[in-house]
Amino acid sequence: MALFEYKARGPRGDAQHGRMEAATADGVATRLLEGGLTPVEIHPARAKQSISNDLDAYFPQPVRTEDLIQFSRQMYSLTRAGVPILGALAGLTSTTRNRTLSKTLSEMREMLEGGHELASALNQHPKVFSPFYVAMIRVGETSGRLEEIFQQLSYYLEREKTTRDQIKKALRYPSFVLFVIAVAVVLIMYFVVPNFSRFFANFGAELPLPTRILIGISDFTVNYWFWLLGGLVALVMGFVNYTRTEQGRYNWDKFKLRLPLAGPVIYRATIARFTRLFAIAQQAGVPLITGLTVVSRALDNSYIEERILTMRNGIERGESISRTAAGTGIFDSLSLQMLAVGEEAGTIDELLAEVASYYEREVEYSIDRLSAAIEPILTFVVAGMVLVLGIAIFLPLWDIASVALGGRR
């Protein structure tokens, strides 16, 4: 298929122009005539060069979750209406606002025209489509339930976006307060305390211990700020590089589950994601071993992933799902009970979906409690800063005032 530009006349002689895909220029003319237009000029479209195209080569526009949700919804609607996959991708390529996703869909369409399956085309773009997304599409193609799979994927992505937005909302205010506190500390140490230090030095009096400590910290900050900044940058870069290693990411993901306040939220969100994805995979007819493998890679937690793979290995040895799940040490009694009942009744997908809904509600409650618990902590931190500054700065001022008043008497 090639892209052509055309100029045509309408039934009333009005000029119209645009672009159309067809095998040949004659095909474009035929489609124009069928639409009641008279072709005037048809020629191959020239590639448009723009600043945005040049920028995309160096700074590609990221594909957000919202873009994938919209893509999944549109594909569900189009496949439900009986539109062929090639035609659906062609239409979405021209209407998708995200340039990276539009380019991806165009490349996918070319692969489909070359005889590849949709899942294989998706698999060529791992930065856009996750392994779970690709596996679900493969199952949909194999079972003939592609329409249903797109609907389930859109629902799952919506839930993921909702949870992520709730966490961002809960952390927005604490992050802003911590940033303001950090800026205030830097300004106080770099500008305010040195002025008080010079003021106290003029009196030559012995300063209290808290004041001497504060002045020492301020002097160190003023004289060696570049070392502090360099050390902070090195620490952040070292942490980022460490978490990019396999062992570092495993240790960090395991540590995150033990964090105070945030750890339970991360745990519940991860278990909710696992149960939801596993339920979707079972409803779609994904084999048990394959489902565990694919779902574990979509959890974004290498520690939980390793536990799930251990569970998979136990099932391969012939053990039951509930027994292997209990051996992982990551599931609570509710999940284990629902797994056992579902395995016995043959309704594991339905019960896991209920567990997922329960944990999703728990995540919402936990996020609200997290926000409520952080605010008193921030208040305590601010009060502590005020107390330290008050003791360190105003105590010597009080002593100096007392000495001055005593001298007058």
Q: Measured between alpha carbons, how far is residue 225 from residues 27, 216, 332 in Å?
A: 70, 13, 48
Tokens found for residue 41:
């000029």
Is 8 strand, coil or helix?
Answer: strand
- Residue identified by tokens 């540590």 is 255
pLDDT tens, per residue, the chain with 409 residues? 567 777 877 776 677 777 777 777 777 777 777 777 777 777 776 655 445 454 555 567 788 888 999 999 988 888 888 888 888 888 888 788 888 888 888 888 888 888 888 888 898 888 888 888 888 888 788 777 888 888 888 888 888 888 888 878 877 878 888 888 888 888 888 888 888 777 777 766 677 788 888 888 888 888 888 898 899 999 999 999 998 898 999 999 889 888 887 888 888 888 888 888 888 888 777 788 888 888 887 777 888 888 888 888 888 888 888 888 888 888 888 788 888 888 787 788 888 888 888 888 888 888 778 777 787 888 888 888 888 877 777 777 776 666 555 544 4
Beta strand 38-44 pairing with 15-22: unpaired
Contact 401, 200 (CB under 8 A): no
Query: Strand order in 15-22's β-sheet?
Result: 15-22, 2-9, 38-44
- As a whole number of angstroms, the distance between CA 237 and CA 250 comes to 18
Asked if residue 265 lies in contact with residue 366, where contact means CB atoms within 8 angstroms, the answer is: yes
Where in 87-183 does DSSP place strands (E)? none
Cα separation, 72 vs 159, in Å, equals 14
